[in-house]
Amino acid sequence: MRDFASELEQRKEAGLYRTRRQISGPQQPVLTSDGNRLLSFCSNDYLGLASHPANIDALRSALSETGLGGASSHLICGHHEAHHRLEERLAAFTKRSSALFFSTGYMANLGVISALAGRGDTVFSDRLNHASIIDGCILSRAKVRRYAHGDVAQLAAMLSETSGHKLVVTDGVFSMDGDVAPLRVLAQVCKDHHALLVVDDAHGFGVLGPQGRGSVAELGLSEEDVPVLVGTLGKAAGTSGAFVAGPAVLMDYLVQKARTYIYTTAMPPAVALASCASLDLIERDDERRTHLQALIERFRREATALGYQLMASHTPIQPIMIGDNWVALALSQALEERGLLVTAIRPPTVPAGEARLRVTFSAAHSHEDLSCLVQALSDCRHLLDTVGVAS
């Protein structure tokens, strides 16, 4: 039998061992973590809607209307009008013909990729795509070709030497780098090579583009340009679940074929109604995005002035590149001693030698919160000098 205990020991020795902290109370910038209060800069609640009173009220009143459990899969008797209402709302919000609601973004990517590509087909995937896309590619049994991050020229060359059905998959906003995929050129290259483009906008949805319609809408790209759009509701929307949006024929096809849609219990319908309420907030609350952008720009100015190496990102994901696993852990630990929660991200989530602190911002952060972060980063800056990782 495999020696699981010694594998865990090896992980610990390499600085790759992962632990969970226990949060109590609501998700908000000031968290109670294992009984201690910490100012968090690591959640994906980009708009501060996870504990918004309007969403909580919507969930409470939806529960009395729909009850709690999903009770069955969508194709048996679990497809509630609440799910349907959310799908219509999501289609309108993303300006797509139709939408299909999944229980999580992970399941959406697995289901969509494995349904839209199979044996004999080829899936082209950006090297920095999220784990759920990588796993969806594996599950599809299609041939998988990975192109260098954002390298559309390399993708075009690969597409031109491939025949048969071709699927191109990319994150819209890359989850660990915060940069946006070159979506306009990707869309054109996919059209030129008759490839079906899937964009997972988990981190752009709610944050980027007019009224938070996402990274694809930010560039004015239509359903014709990006036929398959995936988004999650557990991040900026502050609720739970995910969706895919696009032409009705594709949604119909997914209902028939996406195993992670078919073989699972439907999400509690009340959560779908809470997501509808959250979409109302996302759509009308431009001030949240304006405030968020101001925080991001100020952080970039001040952290760069301290000598930290940031990445090419204008999104709420603002990683500080460190490199070494142990230094990333030491900086994260030193910040925690100062009352701040910023997690170190290590391989295999990021490539070897690219450990980083993944700083994320929320519209629920105040400028005073940001000042605390910058002060703590200034106090801890010396930790990087020994290994020469700062710019």
Ligand X SMILES: Cc1ncc(COP(=O)(O)O)c(C=O)c1O
Q: Which of 94, 175, 318, 343 binds ligand X (CB under 6 A)?
A: 175
Q: Which of 40, 43, 104, 239 binds ligand X (CB under 6 A)?
A: 104
Nearer to ligand X, 346 or 369 (CB): 346
Among candidate residues 130, 235, 291, 365, the one labeled active-site is: 235
Q: Which stretch binds ligand X (CB under 6 A): 56-64, 151-159, 200-208, 265-273?
A: 200-208
CB 109, min distance to ligand X, A: 6
CA 58: distance to chain centroid? 24
Active site residue 382: no
Cα 363–Cα 369–Cα 371 angle in degrees, nearest 5:
125
Q: Are 159 and 194 in contact (CB under 8 A)?
A: no
Q: Which of 45, 171, 225, 285 binds ligand X (CB under 6 A)?
A: 171
Q: Are 97 and 169 in contact (CB under 8 A)?
A: no
Nearer to ligand X, 29 or 172 (CB): 172
Nearer to ligand X, 205 or 299 (CB): 205
**Does residue 106 interact with ligand X by CB under 6 A?**
yes
Active site residue 175: yes
Nearer to ligand X, 105 or 212 (CB): 105
**Does residue 316 interact with ligand X by CB under 6 A?**
no
CB 2, min distance to ligand X, A: 28
Kindly state the tokens that stand for 25.
Answer: 């109370």
Nearer to ligand X, 205 or 330 (CB): 205
**Does residue 299 interact with ligand X by CB under 6 A?**
no
Kindly state the tokens that stand for 222.
Answer: 């239509």
* Total residues in contact with ligand X, by rule CB under 6 A: 14
Q: Are strands 196-200 and 30-33 parallel, antiparallel or unpaired?
A: unpaired
Q: Which stretch binds ligand X (CB under 6 A): 119-127, 151-159, 199-207, 268-276?
A: 199-207
Q: Are 327 and 387 in contact (CB under 8 A)?
A: yes
Q: Which helix (H) or strand (E) holds 319?
A: strand 317-323
Q: Is 378 helix (H, G, I), strand (E, B) or coil?
A: helix
> Measured at CB, which residue is nearest to ligand X?
105
Task: For the sheet with 317-323, list strands across it.
Answer: 317-323, 355-360, 344-345
Nearer to ligand X, 236 or 322 (CB): 236
> DSSP character for 180?
B
CB 99, min distance to ligand X, A: 15
Active site residue 365: no
Q: Are 279 and 93 in contact (CB under 8 A)?
A: yes
Among candidate residues 83, 203, 291, 365, the one labeled active-site is: 203
Phi-psi region of 324 (alpha: psi -120 to 50; beta: other; left: phi over 0): beta
Q: Which stretch binds ligand X (CB under 6 A): 53-61, 195-203, 344-352, 353-361?
A: 195-203
DSSP assignments along 138-162, one per residue? HHHTSEEEEE-TT-HHHHHHHHHT-
**Does residue 124 interact with ligand X by CB under 6 A?**
no
Interface of this chain with ligand X, residues 219 to 238, rule: CB under 6 A: 232, 234
Residue 316, preceding peptide bond in cis (omega within 30° of 0): no
Kindly state the tokens that stand for 109.
Answer: 């990517």
Ranges of H-type helices in 20-130: 53-66, 81-94, 105-116
CB 102, min distance to ligand X, A: 8
Contacts to ligand X by CB under 6 A: 104-106, 109, 130, 132, 171, 175, 200, 202-203, 232, 234, 242
- Enzyme catalytic residues: 175, 203, 235
